[in-house]
Structure 1
Amino acid sequence: MMLPEHTGLEALLADPSGAVIGLDYDGTLAPIVADPASARIHPEAPGVLAELAKRVGGIVIVTGRPPGTALALGASASGPSLADVPGLVILGHYGLERWEAGRITAPPPFRGLEQVRERLPIIVRGFGGVLIEDKGQAVAVHTRTSPDPEATLEELRGPISDLAAETGLVVEPGRLVLELRPAGMDKGRALSRFLAERRARSVMFAGDDLGDLAAFDAVVAAPIPGVRVCSGSAEVTALAERADIVVDGPAGVVELLRAITQRLNGS
C-alpha cells in the first residue's frame, strides 16, 4: 500500500517514539457482524500491531466494549493475539474501564443500569430479532438481525431515550445499535487523557462509527499533528466526511498499519 501524503502522518513517521496510535475495535479492527459476540478481530491485526508497537510511543484501543471482551475477541488459536501486543492499553466503555499489563481497573457499575436491565426486555418485546447486549457498564440494543433494522431502530429510539432520561444515562447511537451508558466519558475525552499521559507528539486515530466522531474532534483539538482515519462503510458516512484518510474496512486499516510499520522499518 502506498501511504498517502498528510502532514499528521508525516509527523508520525518522522518521530515515531512520540506517536500514539488510537483504534476503535468493532468495524475498525474487527468486521461488523450480526451477533456482537462473534466479532473476531481481523486475523492479521494482532501481528501487525505487535510489530508497530515496537516503534511507536503507544497503541491504545478505545472501544465501547468492556476491555475483557475486546481481549477475548482479539484472541487467536494460532499466532499473536491482542494480549501479545507490547504495551497495549485498552480503554473500554468509552474510557470508563482500562486494561493494561494484564490488569483491569474500573469504577463501580452505575445504579441506573439495574432499572435498564429490568425495563429493556419489556420495551423491545414484540420487535422480532432485536438483541440486548449487557456490557456490564452499559446495555446495548441491536436491531441488525430484525426484519427491518432501520425502521426498528427508529421505533425504539424514543422509548429508549425516555428510559435513559429516567435512569440518568445517555444514549450512544451506532451502526444499528442504541447503547445506554453513564454520562461523563466519551472516546474523545478518553483519547485526550491518554495523549496527555503519554506526552504524545503526534496522534493517529482510526474509527468507523458515530461514537468515533468525538475521538476525531480530540485529534483536531490536540496541540500536536494528527491524522484521522475512517474504516469506511456504506452504513455510516459521517466519519468519511471528516476523515483525512479513508480505507476499506478492517482489512484496509490493517494494510495502512502494515504500510506504516514497513516505512518505519525501512522496508
Structure 2
Amino acid sequence: MEFTSPAGEQQYAALVRASADLLVCLDFDGVLAPIVEDPSEAHVHPDAGDALVALSEVCRAIAVVTGRPARQAIELGGLEEVGEAMEERGRTLYLRGQYGNERWDSGSRRVHSPRPPAGLARFEAELPVLLREHDAADAFVEDKVLAVGVHTRRLPDPDAALERLRGPVAALAARHDLAVEPGRQVLEVRAPGADKGAAVRELLEQTGAGAVLFAGDDLGDVAAFDAVAELRESAARHGTPLPGLLVASASEATPVPELVSRADVVVDGPDGVLALLRLLVDDAAGARL
C-alpha cells in the first residue's frame, strides 16, 4: 500500500475517524476478483467475503459498483451469502451493476433492471462484419444484456487490436445512439447516461453516508474517482467536510495512469485491496476504544 501524497494520508485518517458514517464502494474485477482472460471465469478473492463482513461491522454501508450484470456479479462473488451475513449484523450490502443501471441489495434480494437500449441488438448484429474488416474476428464478444463488451485480450496483440477497433466501434455505436466505455483491452458499448460516478452519488444519498471510499482498477472507474473528488471539494468549500478516499488497484504489469494519477492510495491488486480493508477495520476499531 502506498499513499500518493500527504493529503492522501490525511484523507485516510479522516476516514478512520468517520468510519461509522462510511460508505465503501468497490469495483468487482481487478478489485475483489483477479483479472482473468475469460470474464465468465472470474471469481472473487477467497478472503473477500470474510473481509467484507468484518468491514460491515465498522462502517455504515458497503456497495459493489461494477460494469458486470448484477446477477453475474452476485453469482461469481457469492454476494447472496455475504449479504446474508451482513443482514445478520444489521447491515446491508448494495450492488450496482452495469454502471448503475441495475440495482440489488441484500435486504430485498431483487434485481431491478431496465430494458436494453433500442439500438443494442442492431449494433450486435452488425459487429461481426466490423470485427472481420479490422482483423479482429476472434475478439471475444460478451453479451451483457444491457451492454456488449468487445474484448481483445485473447488476440495476438491485444493493445494493437484495441486501437484498431476504437474508432470503428465508436462510429458504429454512435449510429445506434449508444456510448462506448473503454477499458483494459475491452470496449463496452451501452446506453449513454449511466456511469459509476452517478452510482456513487446515488448510493451516498440513499445511505445518508458522510464519508466514502471508492476502489477501482480501470478506465470505467474514472467517473467515480472524479465524483468523489468533486463531492469532497464541494463539501470543504461549504464548511462541511466529507472524507473521501480514492484507491487505485494497480499492479506493475497493468497500471492505469488515469486512475493512479487521481488516487490517494495505490495497492497491488485484490490482495492489496483486502489488506487495506483489513487495516481500515483495525484502525476504525482502535479509534473507538
* TM-score category (smaller protein): over 0.9
Structure 2: 5+ residue stretches without partners = 87-91, 236-241
Give the structure 2 partner of residue 253 of structure 1: 273
Cα deviation 1:87-110 (Å, max 9, x = unaligned):
110101110110112111111111
> What is the percentage of aligned positions where both structures have the same residue?
46
Give the whole-Å Cα distance in 1 for the aligned partners of 2:84 and 2:154.
33
Q: Does the alignment pair 1:185 with 2:203?
A: no
Pair 1:161–1:2, CA change in 2 (3 A)? closer
Give the structure 1 partner of residue 147 of structure 2: 138
Return the offset for 1:46. 1.1
Give the whole-Å Cα distance in 1 for the aligned partners of 2:282 and 2:131.
48
Larger helix proportion of the pair = 2
Pair 1:2–1:228, CA change in 2 (3 A)? closer
Give the structure 2 partner of residue 228 of structure 1: 246
Give the whole-Å Cα distance in 1 for the aligned partners of 2:142 and 2:22.
34
Return the offset for 1:84. 3.9
Give the whole-Å Cα distance in 2 for the aligned partners of 1:254 and 1:145.
28
Aligned 1:4-15 pairs, distance under 5 A: 6-15=9-18
Q: Does the alignment pair 1:207 with 2:216?
A: yes
Q: How many residues are paired up?
A: 264
Return the offset for 1:156. 1.1
Q: Does the alignment pair 1:99 with 2:104?
A: yes
Q: CA RMSD in A?
A: 2.0
Give the whole-Å Cα distance in 2 for the aligned partners of 1:91 and 1:152.
30
Return the offset for 1:241. 1.2
Q: Does the alignment pair 1:108 with 2:108?
A: no
Return the offset for 1:188. 0.5
Give the whole-Å Cα distance in 2 for the aligned partners of 1:250 and 1:227.
17
Give the structure 2 partner of residue 160 of structure 1: 169
Give the whole-Å Cα distance in 2 for the aligned partners of 1:198 and 1:146.
43
Pair 1:175–1:258, CA change in 2 (3 A)? same
Q: Does the alignment pair 1:123 with 2:143?
A: no
**Greater CA deviation, 196-205 or 34-43?**
196-205
Q: Which runs of 4+ in 1 moved over 3 A?
A: 1-5, 80-85
Contact preservation (8 Å) 2:128, 2:137: no
Give the partner amino acid of 1:150: D
Return the offset for 1:264. 2.5
**Greater CA deviation, 174-183 or 257-266?**
257-266
SS of equivalent to 1:183:
coil
Structure 1: 5+ residue stretches without partners = none
Q: Does the alignment pair 1:176 with 2:196?
A: no
TM-score for the superposition, normalised by structure 1: 0.93
Return the offset for 1:85. 5.2
Return the offset for 1:262. 1.9
Give the whole-Å Cα distance in 2 for the aligned partners of 1:177 and 1:71.
22
Give the whole-Å Cα distance in 2 for the aligned partners of 1:254 and 1:171.
30
Contact preservation (8 Å) 1:174, 1:211: yes
Give the whole-Å Cα distance in 2 for the aligned partners of 1:213 and 1:73.
24
Q: Does the alignment pair 1:218 with 2:258?
A: no
Give the whole-Å Cα distance in 2 for the aligned partners of 1:70 and 1:82.
12
Return the offset for 1:17. 2.0
Give the whole-Å Cα distance in 2 for the aligned partners of 1:84 and 1:147.
43
Give the whole-Å Cα distance in 2 for the aligned partners of 1:216 and 1:245.
12
Cα deviation 1:127-146 (Å, max 9, x = unaligned):
25410001111000000010
Contact preservation (8 Å) 1:9, 1:204: no
